[in-house]
Structure 1
């Protein structure tokens, strides 16, 4: 394996390990989980479409999310050369223009796979790619502002996969109930993205990247992140009660209560506890997503009317 890598590097090609590192598999989980939630939410309609669902999960994670990571690293290569020179592009493990080539190639592959799943999925993939490139690439570069950038990622990583999975299985627009739940979880994900910004406040301030901690300070940003995560979940549990799904609502309520307990510690020292809270709070958050998906599945018959 090492000899293959050496030959590739001598030929000016990145090694498979370097390409995988560029695509950051650890980031694939949120959109894959959201796609699974969307599929489960309309589970009574699946009827032997497991292969289609698995292909959609592949599209949401390794392909579209992997593409977004390659795009982001390519357009951040100069900044990373200063702050994180060990990354694969500034370190030379992905040499020359290969970062851009991989981003473009992954975009094309994503569209090809999306086309196999129907026009609705293809349209969603086009939108997802537009947001991914707009997040990192000029002239838009949404990531320069924490309010805009985190919102774009939250909707791309959570809401869009939810709706795409449901639309792919149904062959039509999902119910307004499912759409509302998916939108609320996407909004809440804005707070999750803010948690990642506390580790680089000094560098972001120097580089003019206006994350919420840079704009408002660590403590106010922490409070904002907690509220943005908690309020949509509170709305969701209220909706579940209203839709006669009390057991699911109680489960979401319990998960939210545990998050709030963790939030108290996080707010006391946001910079110190951001990573800790991200690990615990996000796990509780996405667990609530799955509970809500099963609630929607149970309510499929009463809410069968499509938009």
Structure 2
């Protein structure tokens, strides 16, 4: 199936519901949650600057994440015509080049909003916008790599928003402990993004996207994803114990045990169980993030 555009398509307007589908509200939660983790870990009370919290949540979720989804769908329109032809662009619900225009307009909006969050917030926004296009667009298209692609997405979904939330509330560089914990959870998110690639397995094979499920096969890719998700969390537990936060470490340990149980089920049928794991194991993963944020707020933060 190919995706072509006619003059008639260019004159049509996209359907409002299709535009909302294009920016995928279901994907906004991870960066919003990570931003809030950063806010909490800063040690600065949320009530001291509620507008910064609110603007940052809107920026991390609907704007930057939504923009990245629109950019990815535009750049992946030929792949989606194979994998998911009912998506807004290949189905024609977003006609002509409207997908590209929406992504570009949201990129500009992201930079405007980011400029209201001070130099750290603006710098992080610039990085996030550039990363979104580097992931999806030629000639860079880091999505082709099963290593760099999920790594970049994990960084932008978990590490960058966490760092930004802490920096914006603290009005400066976050404490070292905050950066370390954010980086570990971003690293673990590489495994989550690898599992997300299972749904595009056939299209990726046909279009030369070398995701880990393509290059390693579903079984081996799932095992690698599980190891990558688990090891950074074990490192977080070790650090919290070293920083005299045993109760927080124990709580995260219980969540890791729940994930290990879920991983056993995932590995019994990686391709079929990947969506199920994203609703169970990933929930435990992000819960641990917030626990870790509360644990370190009085170590390196202002609280």
Aligned position for 1:4: none
**22-31 or 40-49, larger mean C-alpha shift:** 40-49
| 1:265 maps to 2:265 | yes
2:43–2:298: 8 Å Cα contact kept in structure 1? no
C-alpha separation in 2, matches of 1:105 and 1:272: 37
Secondary structure of the structure 1 residue equivalent to 2:181: helix
What is the CA distance between 1:84 and its match in structure 2? 1.8
Superposed CA offset, 1:146-166 (max 9, x none):
111000000011000000011
How many residues of Structure 1 are paired with residues of Structure 2 in the alignment?
Answer: 295
C-alpha separation in 2, matches of 1:133 and 1:245: 39
1:88–1:94: 8 Å Cα contact kept in structure 2? yes
Aligned position for 1:235: 235
**196-205 or 17-26, larger mean C-alpha shift:** 196-205
What is the CA distance between 1:252 and its match in structure 2? 0.4
Superposed CA offset, 1:205-247 (max 9, x none):
2222111111111221111000000000000000000001110
Aligned position for 2:3: none
1:45–1:170: 8 Å Cα contact kept in structure 2? no
C-alpha separation in 1, matches of 2:56 and 2:201: 36
**291-300 or 173-182, larger mean C-alpha shift:** 291-300
| 1:157 maps to 2:169 | no
**Structure 1 unaligned regions, length at least 5:** 1-8
Aligned position for 1:110: 110
What is the CA distance between 1:11 and its match in structure 2? 5.8
C-alpha separation in 2, matches of 1:263 and 1:80: 28
Aligned position for 1:30: 30
1:190–1:225: 8 Å Cα contact kept in structure 2? yes
Superposed CA offset, 1:164-221 (max 9, x none):
0111111110011000000000000000011112233233222221111111112211
**Structure 2 unaligned regions, length at least 5:** 1-8
What pairs up with 1:109-148 in 2 under 5 angstroms?
109-148=109-148
Change (3 A) 1:77 1:248: same
When normalised by structure 2's length, the TM-score is 0.93
C-alpha separation in 1, matches of 2:258 and 2:114: 38
Change (3 A) 1:29 1:47: closer
What is the CA distance between 1:98 and its match in structure 2? 0.9
C-alpha separation in 2, matches of 1:16 and 1:275: 27
What is the CA distance between 1:121 and its match in structure 2? 0.6
What pairs up with 1:165-204 in 2 under 5 angstroms?
165-204=165-204
Aligned position for 1:58: 58
Question: CA-atom RMSD, angstroms?
Answer: 1.7
C-alpha separation in 1, matches of 2:250 and 2:114: 37
What is the CA distance between 1:299 and its match in structure 2? 2.5
